[in-house]
């Protein structure tokens, strides 16, 4: 069921909402939400390639999303905007993950990823564990391209559990 946010709302309280799915660039409303029980945030890949990364930074800066324990990324293609270099899921998502220190499970499904960048993001999260309290325990990679077996094994050394689905 979709949620329509009316432009005249200043705050929208959703005290029992545990799972929220968002598709960038439509993230301008996130500051209106109060989500006390948010457990899982699903970020769907945008349908167009001219998405501004700032819309994802907005998302990660919202206090509501910092409490989510599961981050799921679905259907992120490899973007090739006209005037910039190509980028994959890791460039915009690294901004989100840096601010979401309560993530215990990170699931990436049906996406194009750069395995070395994903490994780097996870290494940075684990390196900052002592200062930020990063809780990442499980990484799930489901039908993704761009990651090698060696990179998966390296990620497995950093987290308690890695699940890979072909």
Torsion of CA 141, 145, 151, 152, to 10 degrees: 30
Q: pTM for this structure?
A: 0.81
Please classify residue 122 by burial: count the beta carbons closer than 10 Å to its beta carbon, then call 0-12 exposed, 13-18 middle and 19+ buried.
buried
As a whole-number percent, the residues of the chain with pLDDT over 90 amount to 24
Give the pLDDT score at 154: 95
Average pLDDT over every residue of 26-37: 79
pLDDT given at position 103: 87
Q: Where are the domains of the chain?
A: 12-79+86-104+113-135+143-165
Q: Do strands 161-165 and 138-142 pair parallel, antiparallel, or not at all (unpaired)?
A: parallel
12: its two tokens: 């929208």
């Amino acid at each position: 069921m979709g949620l329509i946010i009316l432009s005249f709302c200043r705050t929208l309280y959703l005290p029992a909402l545990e799972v929220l799915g968002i598709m960038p660039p439509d993230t301008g409303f996130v500051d209106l939400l109060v989500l006390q029980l948010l457990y899982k945030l699903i970020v769907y890949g945008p349908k167009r390639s001219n998405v501004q990364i700032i819309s994802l930074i907005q998302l990660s800066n919202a206090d509501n999303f910092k409490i989510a324990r599961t981050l799921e990324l679905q259907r992120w293609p490899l973007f090739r905007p006209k005037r910039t270099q190509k980028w994959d899921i890791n460039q915009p998502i690294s901004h989100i993950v840096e601010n979401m220190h309560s993530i215990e499970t990170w699931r990436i499904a049906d996406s194009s990823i750069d395995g070395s960048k994903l490994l780097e993001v996870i290494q940075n999260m684990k390196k900052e564990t002592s200062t930020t309290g990063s809780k990442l325990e499980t990484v799930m990679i489901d039908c993704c391209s761009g990651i090698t077996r060696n990179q998966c094994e390296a990620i497995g050394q950093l987290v308690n559990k890695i699940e890979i689905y072909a």
